[in-house]
Structures are given as structure tokens and as C-alpha cells.
Structure 1
Amino acid sequence: MTMASSNTPIPVDDRFNEYESALKRQKSTTSKVWDEMTKLDCENKNELKAQCNHCKTIFSAKSSSGTSHLRHHLNRCLKKFDADECRQAISTFLVCGKHSFRTVEEPGFRYMMRIVSPNFKNISRHTAARDVLMYYAKERDHVKEELARASGLICLTSDNWNSEHTNDEYICITAHWVDKDWNLQKRIIRFRALFPPYDGLNIADELVLCLSQWVIDKKNFSITLDNASYNDVMVSCLKNYFRANRAILCDGAFFQIRCCAHILNLIIKAGLELANDVVGIRRKRFYDATDKSFHLNVTKKLRQDVCERWNSTYLMLESSLYYKDVLDYWGQRDKDYQMFSLSNEEWRNIAILCKFLKVFYDVTCIFSGSNYPKGNLYFKGVRKVHKVLLDTVKGPYSFLTPMVKQMQEKFNKYWAEYSLILSCAAILDPHYKLNYVQYYFKTIYGIHASDFVETILSNLRLLFDEYVKKSKSTSSSLAESSNVSDKNPVDSGLDEHNVNSANFGGYFDESDDYKWYLDESSTRTEKSQLDIYLEEPELELNSQIDVLDYWSKSLVRYNELSLLARDLLAIPISNVASESAFSMDKKVITPLKSSLTPKTVQAVVCLDDWMRAKGFSTTNYYSHFIVKLVAKRTIRTMRTIRMMFLRLLFRIFPF
């Protein structure tokens, strides 16, 4: 038989065999709809179901029915899904970027959305505002669930602010807590315009209403406030409310925390009022000389002094010292500037003052943080300020003495007695414990240090006893409910007969009473968790062990003490978390956006805070959704092209 007459094809390796086999395998694969659908298990094995991964609709998935109906549904569903994601992305873009709702009506924005998602329909500014409110309501429910899951107590910060464009008085309330994974959390739960009068009673009502709406009025530990006069009245009203509802710890003795950053600001401003002759530097145009003659980085600009913020003075001095040579050079050549040029002694005084203020600046930065526990850092920060004031007033720099004395008066007014509750938090830091507090009190108060330490320790024991009682009451209530449910039903007549016929002079097992006495005696002599913790050596100061991580791993060993430490370390020692919302709000309530309703303002401010808590920054959130949408569109387009290409190959090369 010749080769021409043979019906058997001769295999020829033309270096494409591996691709041919891949195409054959591709031909036998299942439908692509299963990338977007999930097969469900059914009781009847002959009946198959499929669920859409996006809208969760369930369809029949019998092999005899094919997949056309699933494909048609996916085409409709994915278009709607893309549109919903676009609307959510636009809401987040407007909120996180502080953009006006009119942005969605701009031609450039609509052109961009048409390129990104051709199926997206343009929306008006009114629709965009409504989307933001709906998005807020959705996310609010998620935050409520987070607060409900919080096993510990919740700490609050609050601050007030007046909008210069609308003249509305706003209150911002922020909740702080440690979640089940022992991570510190922070959420703005209220940003609302107040109704006059703006007094302590009205603000207390607003706080109670807020806590009731968020269902956390039974879980409060403390509230951190500034030194505004109306706050004392407000705190008094809150204490009475919580006492009536038995929802306050230690009768409210540790309920109010005064904002440490605000007190520090008052202390420093009192001193800087006497330092105007030292900090009188004027900014001039000299950046060309800086770059060409001294080759310095001109992106580090000279800072202007802002009277409302003392740290601007420190930043101004710091940048002036960086540009010292340039300023001297400019003063020798510019006649207008010569009257402002400084002598070598004045530059020396500025350097000394800058070094002095840096201590306060660093402490302020630590107190103002919100992503880490700060209660344990309070004592160290205040002690550092106290020590530098004592050392400076006795030091050789006489020009600082009047300023430091003014600062000492303010310090003694607010911090003559260290906050007991926050000093307790320092003891519960395993890096410090009691020895740390004892040492620093001794450096300040000498032989009288023991009195201060004993006061702090007695208050810590008082707090610990509260948590022990709470733990025992919880355990006993659980045990009682268990006994009631397990108790066998008995005949009422038999039970009455037993009570009436009880013989109190008859047999009594004395051994049970003796065992109870021994148990009570051992309990009285047994060391508490707090005593055991204090007797153990401290961790090394440079140890990288996080304080919350330490207590989360000690939960079994120090049950009640760990719960106390969790709530103490959640206390914010400044209300910067609430105050910073006002800095952001100045971008929300601009002259062009002053017509926004207070309800919309609250939705925008809270949403921005909640999105940041999820890890989305102002700059990347919108791009995240854009990339996601473009990627989805690209994937579907590539799938279509790929299927068309495979079909074309099969027509050209029938296998």
C-alpha cells in the first residue's frame, strides 16, 4: 500500500503540537458562566442549581437546559453591578476628595466615566447627594455592628466648632475602643449642627441622644474634653444620667479626662507671650540666593507664626535655624532686611528656645496620635514636661526664666495633681509598671513621692475590684440560669412537705461548712492578679512588644486585669481625634458649599472617617475603583476576543 492510498494520517511534528493539544483541551472545558456562578448542592442529586455570585439569584442548572439563560442573566447583572460600583465609587470620590456634588455634572468628569464604564448613565448633583446619604446609612449600620461587637467599654472624645460660612455650631463625637482582636479603633459617630443655646445642658442632651441611637449608652468608660467652661456642667449632667442607669464606673470618679494637648497648648502660649523679642523673624524673598549660593533644599520653606497654634512658633524657629546662613547673607545685602537681621547672641537664644520647645512639640505629637494607645504614655509625657520646666528655671539661661515661670503657673493649675486614671494606665504598661512611677515621682517630689504613688495604687486597686465584681456577677448569673434550666420539675405538694417537715435540730454535715471556711480563708490570703503582675519584672524599655499585644496574650493568666488594661489603654488623652474633623470640615463647608444641609455635612464627614478606617486614603480610593472597573471591562473584552479567536482557529483547522 502506497502512502497516497493510505487513509491513516501521518503525524508530522511542525512544532505546533503543544498548542493544538491546548486548543483541544480548551474546546472541552465547561462554560465560562461558571466563573461568575456557583453550583449548589441539592437534596435531589438529579436536580442542579446555580447561584449568581453578584445578585445571589438561584437558577436551574440542568445540563439539558444549557447555559444560555445563565449567560443572559450575567450580561444584565454585570451591567447593573458595574453601574452600582460606579455610583459607590463616585460617592467615595466626592466624600474623600472633598469635592462639590456639582463635579458629577462637569463635562470632563462625564467624559472620564464614559471611557471607564460605557454602560454608566450620567447622574445629577442631586442624585449624587442622595447616593452619599444612602451610602452613609449603609456604612452606619456596619459601624453599629462593630460597636455592638466591642466586648470592652467605649471611650469618647467630643469637641465643638463654629462654621465661619454658615455660623452653625457643630459638635463632633468620636468613639474609641479596643476590638476583639485587640486593635485600637476610632470612629466619628456624630457630626451634627446644634440648636441654641449652646450650653452644657443642651450639649449633654445631644450626647445622650447620640449614645442611645448608637446603643452604647450602657458601655461608657470615659469622655475626653477640653477646658471649655460649659463642659463641667455637661459632665455633671452626664454623670447623673449614667448613675440613674447604673452605667458608670466607680460612681464617675474617673469619667472625665481633660485634653492633655489643650492643656499643653495653654502652658506654652502663656510662656510665648513673653518671648516675642526672641522670635521676631520676618520671612523675605531669598530662595534664589538659598539655592544658588548655599545649595539648600528650598522645598523646606520658612514657616509663618500663627498665634492660635503654638507649634507654628516652634516650626518657624526650626526652619529659621536651617536658613540661618542665608538670612545672615541676605541681611548684609538687602537694606530693607537689615533692620530685621539678628545678632549672634540672638541666634544663640533662638537655638536654645527651639531646643526647649522641641520637648513640648514631641510630647504634643505623641498626645495627638490616634492609631495607638496613649493612656500609658500620659505619665511619661507629663513628667517630661514637668522635669524640663524645673530644670530650665534653675538653669543658666536667664532670658527663659520669666517665660518658664509663666508656664509653671499654668502647669500647676492643671497638672499639679497627675490624672489618677491615666497614671494607672502607665502602671499597666509592662515596660514601666510601678517602679517607673515611683522613680519619676521621687525625682520630682523627693521624700513625698510615696504619698503620690500610694494614691495612684489605691485607685488602681479600686478599679480592679470593680472588674472583679463585674466578672463574678456575670459568672453567677450564668450559673443561676444554668441551674434553673437543668432543675427537674417537682411536685408542689412534695416540696411543701419537705419545707414544713425540715428538722433543724437533726443531722447536719459539719464537713461541708468546714470546707467552705477553708476555701474562704485561702481566697483571702491568695494574691490577686494585680499583685502577681506588679511583682513580676518589667519588660525591657526598648522591647518591641506592643502593650495591647501583651495583654491580649495574658488574657488567660490575668483575666480581669487584662480587661481593665484593655479599657484603660483605649482612653484618648486628647480630643484631637474630634478636633481634627473640624480642620477637614473647613474643606467641606466652603463658601461654594455653604448651602449643604447639616444632614449632608454629617454624612460627608463621617463617611470620610469610616473610609480611612478601612484603609482607603484620599488619593487612592477612587483610583482603586477605576482600576477595578477597567480591569473587569478588560477581562471581559479579552475573553470575548479569545473565544472569537479560538472559533476562527477551529474553522481554519478542523481537528
Structure 2
Amino acid sequence: MAACNHCGRKLGGESSNGTKHLLAHVKRCPVIKEQLAMNPNPNASPSVTTYNFDPELGRKKNTIRSDILKMYKVEKEKCSQILEKNRSRIAITTDMWTANHQKRGYMTVTAHFIDDSWKLHSRIISFKYVPCPHDAVTLTDTLSSCLSEWNIEDKISTVTVDNCTTNDPMIPLLKEKFNSNCFILKGKLLHMCCCAHILNLIVKDGLSVIGDSIDKIRDSVAYWSGTPKRYEKFEDTTRSLEVTCTKKLSLDCQTRWNSTYLMLNIALLYNRVFEQLKLRDSRYVRYAPSEDDWIRDQKLCDKLEVFHEVTELFLGTKYSTANLFFPKMCQIKMRIKACMTLDEPFIRDMATQMMSKFQKYWEEIHGLMNVAVVLDPRYKFMLIEYYFPTIYGNDQYEIEIEKVCKLCYELLEEYSSKFPTLRERSQQMDSVSASSQTQIDDLSNFDTYVIVAYGVENVKSDLELYLEEKLIPRTDEFFDICNY
């Protein structure tokens, strides 16, 4: 039997044990580690010095894990109280994410709501592992259990999801899980498609028409950024041609169209550099874009600039309120429609492909966006009346405007049903007046007299009064609708 001279631990000392385990213990002996911490120079003789113990550095993994879970429980309780006290509806966004190194799927659920101070909040309320298969039933069970856990199933306004095929049947299954009265208009507006994802699908369909030209640019970017030596040669050529651009070449992610736009936009700035390198490197010639490719990609970027700006707006995390979506989507549709009449065949083909995809999703997303823009005091119904004749044509636009108006009043009626009506308030006032024996108000029945004289039906709703007001002038400054 052997023993460590430093910590005293007993170790195997037989000849058959060898010495490998002794060397391994030297590396992990706690006493030796402490001595090295006090005197990190291995060549110097050990010495005893003052050692300041940092409790944060000395914490064990399990202790840190325990602290994190305690913090999580405290923050979850705070969030739960906020959601419980919140009187407004809660919009839910959810998405699936797959960890590549584990091949395991996770669902993220985020709650968006406006508090009593009209401040917009977003809270991640769930990040859970979702067992296979990731079908509609499994996703519904995971989402519904999350809503029940937070006790917010009767406050949900909408559920926004991407356009994955499993999400379409998930929404009807979710409605079956809860009482239909929990949702706005019995769930008529529950399903919302993600506008950013729809825009991504629309543009990707359009880009497929000229995929060859884009592939040439992509191959060029990949070639010159593939090794440090090639990129150094690219930078040297950039300096020799006195190209002032400082942006680095960026390879796109083919599932996100806006990264493709950025790749093309940057590559176009280095057009002369790529052309010069074609003369200097014979191996690059087969990857190099032709002059026609550069011309097509330049025209493409010009047409897609507005799409990129709208995508950036939709992906914003702080101010992307629903009233911003409608005018931007209308601009997108009108831009596609205009591109369909241009002379360039490839732009017309691209626009036709994009319009087909746009029409597929337009009916699914524009309902609540219309209501949101009506409630924007800068637009109201005027913006709808401005865009709809172009979007729907002169024969159809009035019918579509009437649908929006009807939807607004359906929402108002449902909202009003949760609060006392004017007549009910009058009856409550009569009851209070009759039961009051100590105070006499000579005008106690005046409100009832006014209602009888004018009729309840002649009293305008807050929505009607709001719509009759003049529009607030638009300015270049940011308009926070929650502070209106």
C-alpha cells in the first residue's frame, strides 16, 4: 500500500499496480493544486504566502446549478404574478428549434402583452424539449401544457407560428383543448402566420428563377474566402485597385434570403476586384460570374432593397407592433405587381413567382393587420381606402373594406359584452339612488332622463368617436402607438 505525502490518500503500491495511477493522482491531488495556486512557478521551491479565497471561484458545479434554479424559480414567480395581474390579451409566438449536435427538438414560447401603463412586454415563458415525432398532436400537447402551466389559456389573443406543414393542423387541435370562449371571436383570429417567414418564402421562390447567377456569386465568395492565403490575395488586389469598400465578403445562409441579399450587395461592391482576379488566377475562371450575371444581380438587388428593409423591420425585437405590418405588406404587394410589368424577362418571371406565393398567404395574414392599422391614429380607414383599390381592383375593394369594418365592430361588440352597457349602468344608478336614504341629489335621475330622451341607440361608441376624429399628421420621428 502506498500513501500520498501531501494529502495522505491511500493508493495501490503493489508491483502489479504499476505507477500510472500514482502519476495521475499527482495531477489531481488537492494539496498539490493548492500549493501551485499559491506558487504557480513549478521550478521555484514551494512557499507559504497569503492566499485570498474567492468564494465565487471556489463554488462547486452543483452549487452553481442550485443557485441558477433558485434564480429561475424567483423570476418565474415574478413573471407569473405579472401575467396574472395583466388585464390585456396575450399574443403568443412559438417556434421549433433543433440542436444539431443532439438531434433533439425544442419549442420556445414567448408571451407578448401590454401592461396597464401601455408598455409593451415580451417574456419567454417556455423552452422545452419536444419528444418525437414532431407532429401536430405532439406540438399541440406541448403548447397547451405551457399555456395551462402559466394559467393564461383564457387570455390568449393570437398564436403566431411559421408556415411549417404541422402548424396548420395544430391550431384547430389547440382550439379543441380549451373552451372556445377563451379566444377572441371563438378562435376566428387565433392563427397568425409569421410575416417575416412568409416574406422569406416569397423572396426565396422569386430567387429560384435566377438561381444560376446567384450560384456564380456564391461560388466566387466561397472561393476567395475559403483559405487565408486566397483572402489575403483578394485584399491585396482590392488595395491595388484602390477600392475603398471595407466590408468583408460574406457567404449566405441559403435558408435566409436576406443573407443572400447581403452577400450579393457586398460582392457587387467588389465587382472590379473579381474581374481582375479572373485574369490572375486560372483556377478561379470556372467560378467567375459573367458580365450578364453581374448585370442581373445588380438589377435584382435594386428590386429587393425594399424587401430587405421590411424584413429588418419585421425582425426587430422592440418596436415591431402590428400596426407597422399592414402598410409594409401592401408596399411589398404593389412592388411585386409593378415588377410584373417591367421589360426584363427574368424580373417579370421572378415577380410572377413571388406574386403566386404572396396571394397564397395574403388572406391568412391581413385580417388582424387591417384592424391594427385602423387603430393607428395616423391611418385609420384612410390607409385601407388608399391601398385596397390598387390591391383588389375597383370591383372588389369596397367589399373588402366592408369586411374590415364588420370585423372591427365584431371585436367591439365582444369587448363590450364583458363590461356593463349604458342601459345597465343606468339601472345600476337607479338602484343606488333608490337605496340611498342619507343623501339626496336633485339630479339623481337626470342621466336616466337623457338616455330616455335621446335613446341608447343614438349614443355613439368610442370607436365611432375615434374614427370621426382627424388623423394625426405623420412625421419622420418614431411613433410609439402604445404611448398614444
TM-score by length of structure 1 reads: 0.58
Give 5+ residue unaligned stretches, structure 1.
1-105, 489-511, 552-655
Partner of 2:134: 198
Correspondent of 1:278 among 193, 206, 213? 213
Partner of 1:335: 282
Residue 377 (structure 1) aligned with residue 324 (structure 2): yes
Correspondences of 1:162-241 after superposition (within 5 Å): 162-241=98-177
Residue 287 (structure 1) aligned with residue 235 (structure 2): yes
Partner of 2:401: 453
How far the C-alpha of 1:317 sits from its partner, in A, is: 0.7
Deviations 1:483-513 (A, max 9, x none): 79x979xxxxxxxxxxxxxxxxxxxxxxx9x
Partner of 2:374: 427
Correspondent of 1:264 among 199, 210, 214? 199
Partner of 2:16: none
Name the CA shift for 1:480/1:539 in 2 (closer, same or farther; >3 Å): closer
How far the C-alpha of 1:515 sits from its partner, in A, is: 5.7
Correspondent of 1:464 among 412, 417, 424? 412
Deviations 1:276-316 (A, max 9, x none): 22222112230122134425344x11121322221221011
How far the C-alpha of 1:354 sits from its partner, in A, is: 0.6
Name the CA shift for 1:363/1:119 in 2 (closer, same or farther; >3 Å): closer
How far the C-alpha of 1:331 sits from its partner, in A, is: 2.1
Name the CA shift for 1:161/1:483 in 2 (closer, same or farther; >3 Å): farther
Name the CA shift for 1:339/1:440 in 2 (closer, same or farther; >3 Å): same
Question: Which secondary structure state, in structure 1, belongs to the residue aligned with residue 123 of structure 2?
Answer: strand
Q: Is the 8 A contact 2:118 2:483 kept in 1?
A: no
Give the whole-Å Cα distance in 2 for the aligned partners of 1:331 and 1:451. Answer: 58
Deviations 1:239-292 (A, max 9, x none): 233335x31111111111011111111111112122122222112230122134
Q: Is the 8 A contact 1:378 1:423 kept in 2?
A: no
RMSD: 3.3
Name the CA shift for 1:269/1:295 in 2 (closer, same or farther; >3 Å): closer
How many residue pairs match? The answer is 416
Give the whole-Å Cα distance in 2 for the aligned partners of 1:419 and 1:115. Answer: 67
Amino acid at match of 2:58: N
Q: Is the 8 A contact 1:260 1:367 kept in 2?
A: yes
Correspondent of 2:475 among 542, 545, 562? 542
Name the CA shift for 1:255/1:338 in 2 (closer, same or farther; >3 Å): same
Residue 325 (structure 1) aligned with residue 272 (structure 2): yes
Amino acid at match of 2:347: L
Give the whole-Å Cα distance in 2 for the aligned partners of 1:422 and 1:450. Answer: 17
Residue 252 (structure 1) aligned with residue 187 (structure 2): yes
Give 5+ residue unaligned stretches, structure 2.
1-32, 39-49, 225-229, 437-444
Structure scoring higher RCO (CA < 8 A, sep ≥ 6) equals 1
Q: Is the 8 A contact 2:193 2:364 kept in 1?
A: no
Name the CA shift for 1:515/1:313 in 2 (closer, same or farther; >3 Å): closer
Give the whole-Å Cα distance in 2 for the aligned partners of 1:483 and 1:167. Answer: 66
Give the whole-Å Cα distance in 2 for the aligned partners of 1:297 and 1:394. Answer: 34
How far the C-alpha of 1:188 sits from its partner, in A, is: 0.6
Name the CA shift for 1:187/1:116 in 2 (closer, same or farther; >3 Å): farther
Give the whole-Å Cα distance in 1 for the aligned partners of 2:87 and 2:52. Answer: 43
Q: Is the 8 A contact 1:291 1:297 kept in 2?
A: no
Give the whole-Å Cα distance in 1 for the aligned partners of 2:353 and 2:412. Answer: 39
Correspondences of 1:341-356 after superposition (within 5 Å): 341-356=288-303
Q: Is the 8 A contact 2:249 2:263 kept in 1?
A: yes
Which has more radius of gyration? 1
Q: Is the 8 A contact 2:213 2:289 kept in 1?
A: no
Name the CA shift for 1:115/1:155 in 2 (closer, same or farther; >3 Å): farther
Name the CA shift for 1:532/1:482 in 2 (closer, same or farther; >3 Å): closer
Residue 522 (structure 1) aligned with residue 470 (structure 2): no
Name the CA shift for 1:343/1:547 in 2 (closer, same or farther; >3 Å): same
How far the C-alpha of 1:344 sits from its partner, in A, is: 4.0
Give the whole-Å Cα distance in 2 for the aligned partners of 1:184 and 1:230. Answer: 30
Amino acid at match of 1:546: F
Question: Which secondary structure state, in structure 1, belongs to the residue aligned with residue 103 of structure 2?
Answer: coil
